[in-house]
Amino acid sequence: MPLNHVALTVADRERSAAFYGEHFGLTERIMDDRHLLILGAADGSELALSDAEEVPPELPRTNHFGFRLATAAEVHAARERFRAAGVPESEWQDDGTWTRVQVLDPDGYRVEVYAY
């Protein structure tokens, strides 16, 4: 049973939509009303964004969601794109078995890109 979507509460839906569109290919607007914006990607991934008056200032480091890539080289390339775009990095690991980078979205959510 594959995971279909993640839902986040964000401070600014348009800012978050731009971030996830640019960095993760979530550019299709599946639904957009005053309560919810659902973004989609060609691979079937979906991300639901809801506005909040206040987003928690910092979440535990274990709270995150990830995008799996096929190779460590793809993770390295993604890391370089994040760095070039000024996306804050929170964790990096490349031990020969597991390669992963965690970055922070505009609201401080940890997003992981990994391969193993």
> What pTM was computed for the model?
0.88
CA distances, 34 to each of 19, 39, 72, 114 (Å): 20, 14, 40, 33
Give residue 1's pLDDT.
55
Do 97 and 116 sit in the same domain of this protein? Answer: yes
Q: Specify the DSSP element, H or E, that contains 66.
A: strand 64-68
Give residue 23's pLDDT.
97
pLDDT digits (tens, 9 = 90+) for 79-91: 999 999 999 999 9
Do 38 and 67 sit in the same domain of this protein? Answer: no
Do 1 and 46 sit in the same domain of this protein? Answer: yes
User: Is the CB of residue 61 less than 8 Å from the CB of residue 103?
Assistant: no
Dist CA 81 CA 88 (whole Å): 11
Domain harbouring 36, CATH code: 3.30.720.120
User: Which range of residues forms the domain containing residue 100?
Assistant: 63-116
**Residue 89 maps to a domain:** yes
Give residue 3's pLDDT.
73
Mean pLDDT by 10 residues, the chain (116 residues): 82 95 96 94 93 77 89 98 98 95 94 95
**Residue 58 maps to a domain:** no
Domain harbouring 102, CATH code: 3.10.180.10
Length of the chain: 116
